Amino acid sequence: MKNFLWALGLVTLIGCSDSTHNDQDSTNKELLVTNFLNDTRSFERADFEQPIEEFIVSASEIANEAVELDKNSIQGFIEKGSSFSYGVIVVGNHTIVKIGDFENCKTSSSWGTCMPFGEGYIKKGDLIFQKEYINNIIGRPDSQKRLGFLFK
């Protein structure tokens, strides 16, 4: 009986330990999103091997709105985004850009709309910081998966 209670206690302790680790991991991922929204350059200090992929997972859970973007949907995303505090666009697992000002925009003939100014990263081995109109960061419309996230 004593061995059974000891084993039960050990299993409970391990289970709680895993739960605490999962909660901490979840909190770290949420912090990754929050930190990026508040300070784009925080990605340079992020303790994740694939911060853009981690951002996608966390943002999918906590964003107020998420939409797949293409040439037909981006104008609506930008118009709707002006009523949110933050907008972020992710291309594949290699590009992330935070829209800095929905009103400061430049017409893009390839996207067919006025594209706002933003800053973010393109991954080319290392993360390379970009500060530009977002059409120059996210590229031209093509078959790559682009996700837009809006946060209040």
The full set of domain ranges for the chain reads: 5-151
The average confidence (pLDDT) of the chain is: 86
Structure confidence at residue 46 as a pLDDT band (50, 70, 90)? confident
Alpha-carbon torsion angle 41, 93, 32, 71, nearest 10: 80
More confident residue, 48 or 10: 48
pLDDT at 26: 55
Q: Spell out the SS3 assignment of 100-141.
A: EEEEEEEEECCCCEEEEEEEEEEEECEEEEEEEECHHHHCCC
Closest CA relative to residue 144, chosen from 109, 73, 94, 77: 94
